[in-house]
Structure 1
Amino acid sequence: MSDSAERPAPSGEPRQRTPRAGRDLPAAIGVGAVLVALVVLGLFFLPLVLVALAAVAAGVGTWEIGQSLNRKRGMRIPLIPAVVTGALFPFAAYFGGSESLIYTVLGSIIVVILWRALGRRDGMLTSIMGSIFTMLWVPFMLALAILLFRQEDGAARVFTIVLMAIGNDTWGYIAGVLWGKHPMAPRISPKKTWEGMAGSLVGSMAVGILCAIFLLDDAWWIGAVLAVLLVIASTAGDLSESMIKREIGIKDMSNILPGHGGVMDRLDSVVFAVAAGYVVFVVLG
């Protein structure tokens, strides 16, 4: 997510929409509130709600990326097998753990290869590689959240990552609007600034330390370490999606979420944060 107010894009590049502005603001707030409510419901009361939400996000995110690459770059990613198998990743992680997830990933790759092998022969390698990239980017990283959820104190850990992701975007946006002057990557995301990243880091560290002490019953420094890595990962995820969108010439992956754009426009930083959080919690035990 962006960390400053909308600025004119360089010539020839798409403008980036700020969903919080104007008439999109009520819709953005409403959609965001519903999504957060569903996450909380799934984390602490009905686990299958969380798994289903992750599966839907995985499938829709895969479709958004695949159809964008197909339409703008003609990659011919086979959307049906990619979307269907990708949506199975969270269920495999929840019911079978890491081993089942690995088998599902390998099976999905085989299905995509066979599906593509029966189609047009031109561009076959590009199509397959694009499919694998898309499924590992979105469904696999979301499935890591489900693996983390299955662990001891998993609900609290995932909730901590969600809170820190929200804090990362919120404080980064505020700092970017108030003090943002030095773009991090002007050719990729002109609105993301070093000042905004500093705001993200401060806000995420505050949230991380509080969650480590009061929610995870752990040492405060674990929250600080988690915050630093999550901010770096979230920024990488945000810049990665911005790079892809600018490369293919679009401003949003889709318009499926009113006031937000596409699912990937909200998950760009979250999926990387989930992966980083999973590694931190596994390494630190």
Structure 2
Amino acid sequence: MAELPDDPNSAPLPPRRRHGRGEIGERAHATADELKAQLEATRAQLEATNERIEAKAGRNLLAATGIGLVLGALLLLSLMVVKELFLVFAGALVAFTSFELASALRFAGRNVPRLPTVVVAVATVPAAFYWGADGKWFVFLGGVAIVVLWRLAEALIPSRRTSAKDLLKDIGASTLVQVYIPFLAGFAVLLTAQDGGEWWTLAFIIAVVAADVGAYASGLTFGRHKMAPNISPAKTWEGFAGAVVATQIAGILLMVLMLGKPWWLGVIFGLALVFTATIGDLVESLIKRDLGIKDISTWLPGHGGFLDRLDSMLPSAAAAYVLFYLFA
């Protein structure tokens, strides 16, 4: 077929613009690269901030917050649904914490028999719940006797013999585990077993958490003057002041809104618990310093071990039980 001649008066057609997949893909790729770069910059900034906080406060804040939320949710579930669930929760904590401390003492050279230590420690929990204070004392004293006799029996084995001095140290360390963990934790179980006691247990735990958060935030922001540098270098008087303020606020609100008690009891409640929480923290720091370790264990990211989180709770449980007995 013959081609038609070009029309000299016609204008040339403009080049056809292409909006195909290539251009759209390039734009989407560029947008994805920008978003990825922004996310990387944000992550780097968060990591740098967390590293600065960890360097000053000695813990991974993000990991600590996550673990704390999980433990708090389990605690609420055990207290609010069925009281007996608290036995499972408390028994697990006592088992892990007793094993931790016994292992740390063994690492430092003290031969603490772990199997009987954990078994008799856990036995204190149901004894306190079902048999009250008498059952708690009976199982505690019996547990100490069992652990001591176990260690003495081990010393009769020729390959396990040691000097009388070291044997006494082993017995003392074994007794320390029973006093420090199941005996003090038993007060929380005794408190929960009372009519309405679960609310007091929840209240004292919230107050101790408030003390910890208040001390952490205030010490991180304003901390200058060391409270006990030879025991806990990170603890400051400014942090303690923050803990006092936080526990006063928490104590008053808890007493008035949750427990239906007068506000002035909240003041006493807050002061008692900030004192016991601080003493508990310092005692555990003293133990770790004596053992030459930073954390009792590394089981909880950002927290160290279970005892590193329960050190303030244990003596505070005893204080809360006394206050319940006096004012409930």
TM-score between both structures, scaled by the size of structure 2: 0.79
Q: Is residue 181 of structure 2 the alignment partner of residue 138 of structure 1?
A: yes
User: Which secondary structure state, in structure 1, belongs to the residue aligned with residue 286 of structure 2?
Assistant: helix
Q: Is residue 140 of structure 2 the alignment partner of residue 75 of structure 1?
A: no
Distance 1:246 1:96 in 2: 37
Matched to 1:98, the amino acid is A
* 2:122 matched residue in structure 1: 87
Task: Give the CA deviation at 1:29.
Answer: 2.4
Q: Is residue 146 of structure 2 the alignment partner of residue 111 of structure 1?
A: yes
User: Which secondary structure state, in structure 2, belongs to the residue aligned with residue 162 of structure 1?
Assistant: helix
Contact kept in structure 2, 1:64 and 1:264, CA below 8 Å: yes
| Match 1:150 to one of 193, 197, 205 | 193
Distance 2:136 2:253 in 1: 32
* 1:33 matched residue in structure 2: 69
* 1:19 matched residue in structure 2: 60
* 1:13 matched residue in structure 2: none
> What percent identity do the matched residue pairs reach?
36
Contact kept in structure 2, 1:161 and 1:273, CA below 8 Å: yes
Distance 1:140 1:116, change over 3 A: same
Q: Is residue 273 of structure 2 the alignment partner of residue 238 of structure 1?
A: no
CA deviation profile, 1:21-55 (whole Å, cap 9, x unmatched): xxxx1x32222111111111111112222111111
> Which ranges of structure 2 fall in alignment gaps of 5 or more residues?
1-51, 156-160
Q: Is residue 81 of structure 2 the alignment partner of residue 45 of structure 1?
A: yes
Distance 1:114 1:254 in 2: 27
CA deviation profile, 1:135-171 (whole Å, cap 9, x unmatched): 1111111111010111122011011001101100111
| Match 1:227 to one of 266, 270, 277 | 270
Q: Is residue 233 of structure 2 the alignment partner of residue 204 of structure 1?
A: no
Structure with the greater alpha carbon radius of gyration = 2
Distance 2:53 2:316 in 1: 23
Contact kept in structure 2, 1:92 and 1:100, CA below 8 Å: yes
Contact kept in structure 1, 2:64 and 2:302, CA below 8 Å: yes
User: Which secondary structure state, in structure 2, belongs to the residue aligned with residue 118 of structure 1?
Assistant: helix
Structure with greater contact order relative to length (CA < 8 Å, sep ≥ 6): 1
Task: Give the CA deviation at 1:259.
Answer: 2.4
CA deviation profile, 1:64-105 (whole Å, cap 9, x unmatched): 111111111x11011111111101111111121111111111
Contact kept in structure 2, 1:6 and 1:191, CA below 8 Å: no
Distance 1:200 1:169 in 2: 7
Distance 1:98 1:157 in 2: 17
Number of residues of Structure 1 aligned to a counterpart in Structure 2: 269
Matched to 1:64, the amino acid is E
* 2:221 matched residue in structure 1: 178
The worse-fitting range, judged by mean Cα deviation, of 168-177 and 122-131 is: 122-131
User: Which secondary structure state, in structure 2, belongs to the residue aligned with residue 190 of structure 1?
Assistant: strand
Matched to 2:59, the amino acid is T
Alignment root-mean-square deviation, CA: 1.6
Matched to 1:91, the amino acid is P
Distance 2:309 2:220 in 1: 19
* 1:194 matched residue in structure 2: 237
Task: Give the CA deviation at 1:6.
Answer: 5.1
* 1:96 matched residue in structure 2: 131
Task: Give the CA deviation at 1:5.
Answer: 4.9
The worse-fitting range, judged by mean Cα deviation, of 113-122 and 197-206 is: 113-122
Contact kept in structure 1, 2:54 and 2:60, CA below 8 Å: no
Distance 1:57 1:139 in 2: 10
Task: Give the CA deviation at 1:272.
Answer: 1.5
Matched to 1:80, the amino acid is L
Distance 2:55 2:154 in 1: 43
* 2:171 matched residue in structure 1: 128
> Which ranges of structure 1 fall in alignment gaps of 5 or more residues?
9-15
The worse-fitting range, judged by mean Cα deviation, of 117-126 and 57-66 is: 117-126
